[in-house]
Amino acid sequence: MTCTGKKTGKVTSSHWGAFEVLTDGNKIVGTKPFANDREPTGISDILPKAVHHSSRVLRPSIRRGWLDNRNTTDRGSDTFVELPWDEALDIAAQEIDRIRKDHGNSSIFGGSYGWASAGRFHHALSQIHRFLNTAGGYVSSFGSYSTGCAQAIMPHVFGVPFLKYTYGSQDSWETIAEHTQTLLMFGGVNPKNSQVSMGGITEHETGSWFEKFAAQGKRCINIGPQSTDAPEGCEWMPTKPASDTALMLALAFYLEENGLTDRAFLDRYTTGFDRFRPYLMGERDGQPKTPEWASPLCGLPAEKIREIAQQIATTRTLITVAWSLQRAEHGEQPYWMSAVLAAMLGQIGLPGGGVGYGYGAIGGIGKSLQRMQGITLPQGTNPISDVIPVARIADMLMYPGQEYDFNGKRSKYPDIRLVYWAGGNPFHHHQDLNRLNNAWKRPETIIVNEPWWTATAKRADIVFPATTPYEREDIGRSNLDNYLFNMPQLIPPVGEAKDDYAIFTGLAKRMGIADAFTEGRDPEGWLRHLYRRFEEHAQTTSIDVPDFDELRERNWVRLPLKVDTPEKSFLTIFREDPDGNPLHTPSGKIEIFSETVDGFGYDDCPGHPVWLPPSEWLGQATPQSPLHLVSPQPGDKLHSQMECALADVEGARPETLVMHPSNANQRGLKTGDIVKVFNARGRCLARVFVSTEILLDVVALPTGAWYGDTEQKIDPDGNPNVLTIDVGTSKLGQGCSAHTAMVDVQKRD
């Protein structure tokens, strides 16, 4: 961005990377790309407008209906009363004390998400959980909207936590470049998504690696409904959403029928193929999973399926699976089946072969780095054992005491009386937002720390104005990155905003738990304490890091963490010696059939991968809902952050809906037209973009637009989650089913 007048600049870090921030003392006036980033993202361009936007929460605010008579039904439409900090903190502390004393800490839900800041101390999730643990605990959540389903199913298959597999045990881009011949990408590998990463990604490089792959003549096959889900030059094989498991089964059938299955690998390293094979070959249900069977389900010709199967059987093949595939009904199945297909090829544990998850989902996956201990604010111990799957929040609020299944356990939803949310916007992440809007009126009290008047803040009872990362000092560091940042305070807090730490300290003092929460440290004291522990660990690994004051002076350093020969993954070690290094599964092997999962008795997730069509998909299209909606991550921001400023850009809202030319012509639509996207759950506006890069009868509407005025009965800015279905992926995973949604589109009246 260009700017005028006297200005100074310093580098800071964010989840979408490092960039220079230009200020005039009290205001951010521009940003510049970080010099070391060869593929910088443009997300930061809108930051000056967002930080100083009129939608900032300027003062502590309490909803009038709640203040007057504890009314909960007007959340989202009520007005707010601004109060002095001391008075607002008094009211909030008294309310938290009342709830925990009258109903117990199991009636408090501590909601947060880790995307508020790349800073390691001012990490909203750690801050709120530390405070609530100090106050006696809270009901917590398992997993994330991005990977909750995978986190439940994949430990049953490989015996390790899914995120440990994803972040620490997958091939590097260098290894793929050297050894992989065929890259078979279910859901693509999207450079747009790899713009961001938890804690920051400084050098963006996904696109440049695919340029190298193309120059090498590597075959990169993008399986999915959009060609744009993979870099240019990849071979697009358009398939229907939700059909990946059927295609994988057909590939597996071809291998088995043509003697291409690596039986020696299956016998030595896996268990349960004998239980899976009768289903695959149709001996159990009378339906062989042939290419001809799969073709109408996935949309690929049978001969193309056979050609792919022959390709992956005769070359070093890495199967990659996007996170998006498990964000749908029965999302467990393509993840499990991808592991089975890779096992049948016999390449798991070989360099450049096997199966990988999340390449392109976030930046950092594929970087070859020496691992270091992170910088983390201790959260303490939660005395409350109640945990719900993260995507089941609306169910929890609506049905206290109702039983539900999750990963082999049967539990009851707690009776939540108070929700405290910091560092997140559930009215962005959650599905069927109109349903959530109704559920959100059930708790007695909702408290939110938030810089902007998001849909969540507007639906709270007590709103504390929180600083953005540019209004406080922090340390930026990620285990998926080789940079270390001092994130300086760049401008004074906007309005009367305070750090989450200051807000929770104020509440803790009033509740008599300040000493336990602060341990006698102010923010700088905590930064020095956390950094000292990081230094001590660095010394044990012979990594040279500057001391705290030197880092402040230097602003940032590149750490010597890149390695030419990465550590062997657990699967490589397992392949070398399966008896001496068994997996942490019941059998010690890769579980094609799981006795554990089978023992749960779930009809929607049996003991081995199966084809289970979702309740809504193109195979069951109706005249009322003929189009399958996918809702990818946005390319112009992180989730819904800074949406306030983007909404002010002429022509940027409502959000863009990508549609095939034939579907557009049928409806008399052209690029730029404003349309209504609708189904039985809700309606929203969108701006059409006609493209041949999307499959016929599929439409794509990115997430991130703020949930709008429900009094209008239509979301004005194009939030797809007014249309998505709020059901669990299965009784096992209970993840979100965002990509299970059928809609129709028509020109706005």
Residue with tokens 């002010």: 648
Query: Could you give the CA distance from residue 105 to residue 26 in angstroms, rounded to a whole number?
Result: 41
pLDDT for res 618: 97
- Residue 527, classified by CB atoms within 10 Å of its CB into exposed (0-12), middle (13-18) or buried (19+), is buried
Domain 162-368 has CATH 3.40.228.10: yes
Closest CA to 475 of 425, 516, 439, 529: 529
Measured CA distances, 393 to 131, 319, 390, 719 (Å): 21, 33, 6, 19
> Strand 683-690 and strand 656-659: pairing?
parallel
| 217 within 8 A of 235, measured Cβ to Cβ | no
3: confidence class by pLDDT, cuts 50, 70, 90: very low
What's 61-138+386-470+496-520's CATH class?
alpha beta
651: confidence class by pLDDT, cuts 50, 70, 90: confident
Considering Cα of 475, then 481, then 484, then 486, what sign does the dihedral take?
A: negative
pLDDT surpasses 80 at 542: yes
Considering Cα of 336, then 207, then 203, then 425, what sign does the dihedral take?
A: negative
| 382 within 8 A of 140, measured Cβ to Cβ | yes
pLDDT for res 371: 83
Question: Which range has the worst mean pLDDT, 215-224, 389-398, 463-472, 534-543?
Answer: 534-543
- How do residues 560-613 score in pLDDT, each as one tens digit? 998 877 778 999 999 999 999 999 999 999 999 999 999 999 999 999 999 999
Backbone angles phi, psi at 87, to 5 degrees: -70, -40
Query: Could you give the CA distance from residue 391 to residue 388 in angstroms, rounded to a whole number?
Result: 8
Query: Could you give the CA distance from residue 375 to residue 481 in angstroms, rounded to a whole number?
Result: 13
Query: Average pLDDT for residues 370-380, to the nearest whole number?
Result: 90
Q: Under DSSP, is residue 731 helix (H, G, I), strand (E, B) or coil?
A: coil
141 token code pair: 């959540």
pLDDT for res 91: 98
711: confidence class by pLDDT, cuts 50, 70, 90: low
Query: Could you give the CA distance from residue 427 to residue 721 in angstroms, rounded to a whole number?
Result: 8
- Residue 555, classified by CB atoms within 10 Å of its CB into exposed (0-12), middle (13-18) or buried (19+), is middle
- How do residues 154-170 score in pLDDT, each as one tens digit? 999 999 999 999 988 89
61: confidence class by pLDDT, cuts 50, 70, 90: very high
pLDDT for res 647: 87
pLDDT for res 2: 33
pLDDT surpasses 50 at 5: no
Query: Could you give the CA distance from residue 549 to residue 308 in angstroms, rounded to a whole number?
Result: 56
Backbone angles phi, psi at 411, to 5 degrees: -130, 175
Q: What is the mean pLDDT of the chain?
A: 95
pLDDT for res 642: 92
691 token code pair: 């493209």
Q: How open is the CA angle 436-747-676, to the nearest 5 degrees? A: 5
- How do residues 197-254 score in pLDDT, each as one tens digit? 988 999 999 999 999 999 999 999 999 999 999 999 999 999 999 999 999 999 999 9
pLDDT for res 564: 79
Query: Could you give the CA distance from residue 424 to residue 379 in angstroms, rounded to a whole number?
Result: 18
- How do residues 382-429 score in pLDDT, each as one tens digit? 999 999 999 999 999 999 999 999 999 999 999 999 999 999 999 999
pLDDT for res 610: 98
Helix axis angle, 500-511 relative to 523-540, nearest 10°?
A: 110
Domain ranges of the chain: 8-51, 61-138+386-470+496-520, 162-368, 618-747
pLDDT for res 709: 66
- How do residues 239-277 score in pLDDT, each as one tens digit? 999 999 999 999 999 999 999 999 999 999 999 999 999
User: How many whole angstroms from its chain centre is CA 531?
Assistant: 27
Closest CA to 640 of 191, 52, 43: 43
Q: Under DSSP, is residue 233 helix (H, G, I), strand (E, B) or coil?
A: coil
Query: Could you give the CA distance from residue 173 to residue 210 in angstroms, rounded to a whole number?
Result: 9
Considering Cα of 531, then 532, then 536, then 537, what sign does the dihedral take?
A: negative
712: confidence class by pLDDT, cuts 50, 70, 90: low
pLDDT for res 9: 82
Question: Could you tell me what percent of the chain has a pLDDT over 70?
Answer: 98
Type and span of the H or E element at 475 = strand 474-477
Give the range with max mean pLDDT: 47-51, 370-374, 650-654.
Answer: 47-51
Give the CA radius of gyration of the chain: 26
Query: Average pLDDT for residues 471-483, to the nearest whole number?
Result: 95
Q: Under DSSP, is residue 269 helix (H, G, I), strand (E, B) or coil?
A: helix
Query: Could you give the CA distance from residue 721 to residue 459 in angstroms, rounded to a whole number?
Result: 17
CATH domain 618-747 topology: Barwin-like endoglucanases (2.40.40)
| pTM of the shown model | 0.96
Type and span of the H or E element at 341 = helix 332-345
Query: Average pLDDT for residues 531-551, to the nearest whole number?
Result: 94
pLDDT surpasses 60 at 4: no
Q: DSSP string spanning 552-576?
A: HHH-EEE-S-B-SSPPPPHHHHHHH
Backbone angles phi, psi at 157, to 5 degrees: -95, -50
pLDDT for res 749: 80
| 342 within 8 A of 174, measured Cβ to Cβ | no
Q: How many other CB atoms are found less than 10 A from the CB of residue 27?
A: 15
Q: DSSP string spanning 606-628?
A: -SS------SSSGGG--SSS-EE
Residues with active-site annotation? 113, 115
> What single-letter DSSP state applies at residue 632?
P
Query: Could you give the CA distance from residue 518 to residue 508 in angstroms, rounded to a whole number?
Result: 9
Query: Could you give the CA distance from residue 457 to residue 356 in angstroms, rounded to a whole number?
Result: 38
pLDDT for res 221: 98
pLDDT for res 563: 86
Amino acid at 33: P
Measured CA distances, 643 to 326, 543, 655 (Å): 26, 39, 11
| 505 within 8 A of 518, measured Cβ to Cβ | yes
Give the range with max mean pLDDT: 4-13, 366-375, 595-604, 638-647.
Answer: 595-604
Q: How open is the CA angle 474-475-478, to the nearest 5 degrees? A: 140
Query: Could you give the CA distance from residue 727 to residue 733 in angstroms, rounded to a whole number?
Result: 11
Question: Could you tell me what percent of the chain has a pLDDT over 90?
Answer: 91
Residue with tokens 């393509």: 334
298 token code pair: 């996935």
Query: Could you give the CA distance from residue 635 to residue 653 in angstroms, rounded to a whole number?
Result: 14
- Residue 749, classified by CB atoms within 10 Å of its CB into exposed (0-12), middle (13-18) or buried (19+), is exposed
Amino acid at 523: P
